[in-house]
Structure 1
């Protein structure tokens, strides 16, 4: 066959594309299990980070997760555990947050920490340039935030991207999502000087107004469906209820400590 002909060029290019495609497919399939494991380990790392658990030298994320996450399950908007064939770890929160609250699958992870049992839930929303997400760990009272972890896909470095820094996420520690009277309020993300008197708040990222607003909206949308579940935890903690009643009687508000 004439190597200078168009037919030869077409056949050569076709064979080359097929061979390269087959090789890439084989490599992809060979590496896929490792890729899935890496993705799973990163998710586990984020869940643990919300409970202030980070691996030390010699510790693997998988072992650390198995050691601290004692149970996981799915609840509904009524606070009841549901029998689902979906593993809580595999719930696509990005899809669930788009559904009405009563239709969502709401994952809960029970985490054993040096400070006792914590309940971790995922949150998902939109920033300025793309999705933002994270996990919040709650004390056994279902009201007080023990720790928070946030991440983003493409927020501006030095501005909105600061949500992933401890300087921002650390502000959530100790904040309550219920007002003394029992109403769900979530946590406000506000500018300095705009602090509300009737709910818990944290300071927004300087120069990252849209991302900060996105975090506030994300928390409200993601946490409100869990309100019934959190209330059940709160009701099972008499000392917390007593403290809340005292705060309400004294006219104190659930704001930054």
Structure 2
């Protein structure tokens, strides 16, 4: 075949595309298990971060198995759902459903003998993309023990500051039940306070939309857990 002909060039390009495409597909398939392992490990580290546990990189899975002593899924009525694993629930999808249709993951973290924290995932929207996180509660079902937040594309130095301890540490000790009412923590402009007396934290300076996004995310994602958290409170009283 004439190597200078158009036919040769076209055949050469087609063969090259097939060979390279096949190689890339094979590589992607081979790496997929490792990629999923890394995704799972990152999620585990974020869950533990809400309970203020920061494992070494090579200890993430081991520490997750050590500290997360139970995980389950509840519905809006606080009832445990069978045959659903908390880690497998797509929180991003669930957050878009009506509260009475959601699968609500719960991670029980045993930080010391007899001391358990209940970690709940949250998911919402910031200025430029999705935001998410985890909120850890004491066994009284009202007091926040710790929180972790992350984002996909918020502005560095502004909305991206939600991932910094300076922001998330404000949540420790806040209460979601005030005077018998359930009120997820409000995120407000520094120096202001909610009129109805709910607990609050200061938003990010210059990151108003992202801060409002965190507040809306907490309201949307924690409110369906109201009955579950009330049940925890009743168990503590007993």
Do the structures match in fold with TM over 0.5?
yes
State the 1:236 CA deviation.
1.7
Q: Distance in 1 between matches of 2:85 and 2:72?
A: 8
Deviation at 1:183, TM superposition (A): 1.2
Matches within 5 A, 1:1-257: 1-56=1-56, 60-84=59-83, 86-114=84-112, 116-180=115-179, 182-196=180-194, 198-238=197-237
Find runs of 4+ consecutive structure 1 residues off by over 3 angstroms.
none
Q: Runs of 5+ in structure 1 lacking a partner?
A: 240-257
The alpha carbon displacement at 1:193 in A equals 2.4
Quote the RMSD (CA, aligned, Å). 1.3
Q: How many residues align?
A: 236
CA distance in 1, matches of 2:237, 2:81: 26
Q: 2:80 aligns to what SS in structure 1?
A: coil
Question: How far apart, in 1, do the equivalents of 2:228 and 2:40 lie?
Answer: 26
Counterparts of 1:42 and 1:4, CA distance in 2: 52
- Where structure 2 has 5 or more consecutive residues not aligned to the other structure, the ranges are none
Once structures 1 and 2 are overlaid, which stretch shifts more, 37-46 or 186-195? Answer: 186-195
Task: Give 1:26 deviation, angstroms.
Answer: 1.1
> What is the TM-score when the length of structure 2 is the normalising length?
0.96
Alpha-carbon offset, residue 149 of structure 1 = 0.3
Q: Deviations over 1:127-173 (max 9, x none)?
A: 00000000000000111100000000000000000000000000000
* CA apart distance, 1:59: 5.4
Rounded to whole Å, the distance in 2 between the matches of 1:23 and 1:98 is 38
